[in-house]
Amino acid sequence: MTSKRKRLNLKEKSDVLEVTEKEKLSVRSLAERFRVGETRISELLKDKEGIRKITTEKSKKELVDLVANSGSNVSVEEYVKIDDDLSIEEEKLHVSNFIHWDTTEALALSEDNDEESPMEDCKIKDYSEALKYIEN
């Protein structure tokens, strides 16, 4: 018999923290949304700094590994700077991978048989922020 308990992976823990900051939901609402117990959410919120530190270290390590295996002449530090700059731009523009967060959420929540597709709102109108990294 498999366990009924669900364990959150690092990405899911990070998602819980993001939702907590953006939507200010209660522990009970978060537990229902992520299908885990309230105690697990409470413990997660108490250790949010530790989880953020691990998430940051893991993403930088993955980036270093990617650059090391890419055969590029660009330094690791430059890739890290570009990655950080893109994250800042995404926050300023309220986008995720340069698709507006509302559109991303609508896609996640949409039904397959919907007549109106949220993809219609997904047209990127201003590429200038993304293109500044290609010019170099």
pLDDT digits (tens, 9 = 90+) for 97-120: 555 545 555 555 555 555 555 445
Q: How far is residue 110 from each of residues 14, 16, 29, 93, measured CA to CA in Å? A: 23, 21, 21, 23
Tokens describing residue 125: 């109108």
**For residue 130, what are its two tokens?**
């993304």
Question: Scanning the structure block, which residue is given the tokens 């993304």?
Answer: 130
Among 5-19, 47-61, 79-93, which stretch is predicted with the lowest mean pLDDT? 79-93
Say what the pTM is.
0.42
In this prediction, residue 7 carries a pLDDT of 79
Q: Which of 46-55, 82-91, 106-115 has the highest mean pLDDT?
A: 46-55
Record the tokens describing residue 82, joined without a space. 């570009």
The answer, yes or no, to whether residue 75 has pLDDT greater than 60, is yes
